[in-house]
Amino acid sequence: MSNISLHVALLRIFRTTICPIDGKRKDSGQCFCKSCYFALPSKLKHGLYVSALDGDEFYDNYLSAMEYLARKGFYVPLVKLPTEAAKIIGDTGLIAALNERKQAKQEGA
Ligand SMILES: [Zn+2]
């Protein structure tokens, strides 16, 4: 499984102070901003407390949380974010990595 670029992108996201869902400010080391985090059902919240050292389980949980927030209408596309926030998220490579992952899934890789 080649999830390396996604793993790296998510680790970079933790270090930023921008929420990858809506571009709001978040604390460095947090997955999401407070409004996104508190919108998650408790099962998904708990999934974020799995250590990143546990590998794929953590990343799967993180992606499930992202998908949930997108379904609930929290997701703001990069083009609609302030330039600075869009640049920070863009620089993590997250969007490219997510697209890559989607493609790999479709191809059954
Ligand atoms: Zn947010």
Which sequence spans correspond to the domains of the chain? 4-106
- Going from the Cα of 108 to the center of ligand 1, the distance in angstroms, rounded, reads 31
Return the amino acid letter for 29. Answer: G
Q: Which two tokens stand for residue 33?
A: 């901003």
**pLDDT average, residue stretch 39-47:** 95
Is 0.75 topped by the overall pTM? yes
- Going from the Cα of 92 to the center of ligand 1, the distance in angstroms, rounded, reads 16
- Going from the Cα of 37 to the center of ligand 1, the distance in angstroms, rounded, reads 7
Instruction: Give me the pLDDT at residue 4, please.
Output: 75
Judge whether 97 and 62 are in contact, CB under 8 Å.
Answer: no
18: phi then psi, degrees, rounded to nearest 5: -120, 130
Classify burial at 91, counting beta carbons within 10 Å of its beta carbon; exposed 0-12, middle 13-18, buried 19 or more: exposed
- Going from the Cα of 2 to the center of ligand 1, the distance in angstroms, rounded, reads 27
Q: Which two tokens stand for residue 67?
A: 């998908």
- Going from the Cα of 70 to the center of ligand 1, the distance in angstroms, rounded, reads 10
Average pLDDT over all residues of the chain: 90
| pLDDT above 70 (res 18) | yes
Q: Which two tokens stand for residue 101?
A: 């992952």
